[in-house]
Structure 1
């Protein structure tokens, strides 16, 4: 027989929750009023807003669209997975599909190498955190493109060459002749540069706000990266930067990740009305979620209480066979940990692909007074990249190395 909800039970259900006049709603509203004067930070996939409290208008910082060089460095980062995908397609895909894709990748890589120059990174992209490294970055990009072209050309000439084994030996890891820098290091370097730029700008912004971090309310709202990514504290790179910017003063339990929370429209530097309109909703969300924990002690005194686990990254050894989170990085030459992080972001759907080393980059910035020039970029600084090769010296600074 058809089911019909019982009216009396529904009334009881709604007495605590499910309506704007319920006990739960009054609970959230009361908790929200108590925190109305506390600073509220809301990060979406593109912007971060600070609501100072007391009805003051928000201050907004765009961090994705203003991330200069993000797509350029990501284009180089993607070359490794692109070649691995081609090898998989050659073995498992429809006949010949890999070949057309390989040719397109080869043509795009050649065009990128031609467009690459010191001037591009120094004068056009001109990311503040890249200052002083334009020649090194241009040389790394030139090397990465030439290495990729060589691998693709050989694969197109002899498709039996396009295997995972050859990819690891001749391109990603080595040892192989003509591989002074394994491409794994290029991927770490490009991810680190992206993370360092994001961290540098956000840390600078937060430092200028002089926040009472101990009272700050933080919400990471909406989707971050791919649909399954960034839903935990350890996998959300923006959350990691915010915690780093607080210099340990922000209690981790005051930072909520809310993938289903409303997201204010992308801010373009114009009016803040659309951002300000959601302040009440964000404050009510944060307050009602965190206030719920206040019921734990009166209801369950004597039972173990919940305490967020401190972020304690696993330290790898040569015998480590698997990890359940990002491993700790002991320094810029800890290639076991750094390369393992590349694998983790591919295999763990919770991770942001570009966030492989963002937390490490942010921590290094904090340790060095937010001075990017004082930070060692693993995979870039000190690596033996050949000097930038160029057919047009007027466009590309640097002389080609001798044969």
Structure 2
């Protein structure tokens, strides 16, 4: 179908937008010059870059995919969801290939259990914020693997056993005499350990930079976790950690979440030029959005201004590390809410506790790890 476009109207349209010489383009460039010397933080799915301004080279801090222990902790976090998913697969396709998947999970769990030890966590994984907790982490992993092995072995021996009900009763929920620590608590523990390490490293890094937070620009760029997650301030765990690290000094308006922004490649120590190359585009993005927002005061003086919601996170408040109803409720909510990052269930809680305790991980009580009755191993349901 032919579409008519009036040249006169097109000229009027492009007078305001569509090119650097348009009025809108000039406003963006003027705003970009205004903020050219301000520090700019850009967080991707795996790295943080600080662009100091005035053309200085960025500094990079890896915080997720390139950090120690990410796959090890995540592998243990997945044990509960893996069993629940297996039961769902079997329910949907009882005669399908679920036994092969169960066998693979069982073999991988046994191999992990054999490789696990305090020495692995202390000497090889070597996460600074875990110092002193390596024996407890190893005991937790051994126990989690043992529970998973036992459940899988029974399911393979008797397929009728594999149901959502038995996954909840015999693996996820508790505690009980047969299940002294349920896998739900281990999921909280691994998420908390990840959040504690993330928060500790980023708070340490930011504190060392001595940023003027009131003037700092922040962009969280690209995809964070599953495709629908992390697109709001309350659902983005990185935003929460940055806010905590600023001790409340970062203005809300200075932090932008930009899922469609370009993402620099994961930093490997040799590609600083690739990170630097995107600075102009990031500054233009932040400045253009900020300039448009600032028109509100000029155009609508006397009308109510936008204020971010002050109701707090949509996740339940946590009264403390023993508040298991709230902690477990968060697991369900982050799973069901497509906006949430799964690993962000307790990251905000860990970051706040770090700030309240001088960024000292040793002062924190890790829910699901500290003070839990982990036996050294489990054989046929009996601790030994």
Question: Is 1:338 the equivalent of 2:334?
Answer: no
The count of aligned residue pairs is: 382
Matches within 5 A, 1:3-402: 3-93=3-93, 95-174=95-174, 176-310=176-310, 312-313=312-313, 325-387=314-376
The structural deviation recorded for 1:271 is 4.8
Q: 1:10 to 1:199 in 2, by over 3 A?
A: same
Q: Is the 8 A contact 1:67 1:198 kept in 2?
A: no
Q: Is the 8 A contact 2:40 2:50 kept in 1?
A: yes
Q: Is the 8 A contact 2:40 2:217 kept in 1?
A: yes
Q: Is the 8 A contact 1:67 1:197 kept in 2?
A: no
Q: Is the 8 A contact 1:200 1:372 kept in 2?
A: yes
How far, CA to CA, are the matches of 1:257 and 1:344 in structure 2?
Answer: 21
How far, CA to CA, are the matches of 2:271 and 2:138 in structure 1?
Answer: 38
Unpaired runs of at least 5, structure 2: none
Paired residue secondary structure (1:2): coil
The structural deviation recorded for 1:379 is 0.3
Q: Is the 8 A contact 1:192 1:378 kept in 2?
A: yes
The 4+ residue runs of structure 1 with deviation greater than 3 A are none
How far, CA to CA, are the matches of 1:242 and 1:176 in structure 2?
Answer: 39
The structural deviation recorded for 1:94 is 5.2
Paired residue secondary structure (2:171): helix
The structural deviation recorded for 1:131 is 0.5
Q: 1:252 to 1:14 in 2, by over 3 A?
A: same
The structural deviation recorded for 1:232 is 0.8
The structural deviation recorded for 1:270 is 2.1
Match of 1:317 in 2: none
- TM-score, with length taken from structure 2: 0.96
1:309-354 alpha-carbon deviations (Å, 9 max, x no partner): 12513xxxxxxxxxxx211111101111110111112111111111
The structural deviation recorded for 1:122 is 0.7
How far, CA to CA, are the matches of 1:88 and 1:173 in structure 2?
Answer: 17
Q: Is the 8 A contact 1:169 1:176 kept in 2?
A: no
How far, CA to CA, are the matches of 1:270 and 1:90 in structure 2?
Answer: 47
How far, CA to CA, are the matches of 1:274 and 1:119 in structure 2?
Answer: 37
Q: Is the 8 A contact 1:51 1:59 kept in 2?
A: yes
How far, CA to CA, are the matches of 1:300 and 1:73 in structure 2?
Answer: 50
Q: Is the 8 A contact 1:229 1:351 kept in 2?
A: yes
Paired residue secondary structure (1:235): coil
The structural deviation recorded for 1:9 is 1.2
Q: 1:311 to 1:208 in 2, by over 3 A?
A: farther
RMSD across aligned positions (CA): 1.6
Paired residue secondary structure (1:234): coil
1:198-242 alpha-carbon deviations (Å, 9 max, x no partner): 111111110100000000000011111111111111111111111
Paired residue secondary structure (1:218): strand
Choose 280-289 or 120-129, whichever is displaced more. 280-289
How far, CA to CA, are the matches of 1:172 and 1:58 in structure 2?
Answer: 44
How far, CA to CA, are the matches of 2:8 and 2:378 in structure 1?
Answer: 79
Paired residue secondary structure (1:220): strand
Choose 171-180 or 160-169, whichever is displaced more. 171-180
Q: 1:80 to 1:252 in 2, by over 3 A?
A: same
Paired residue secondary structure (1:288): helix
Match of 1:398 in 2: none
Unpaired runs of at least 5, structure 1: 314-324, 391-400
How far, CA to CA, are the matches of 2:18 and 2:287 in structure 1?
Answer: 17
Paired residue secondary structure (2:261): coil
Paired residue secondary structure (2:138): helix
How far, CA to CA, are the matches of 2:29 and 2:351 in structure 1?
Answer: 36
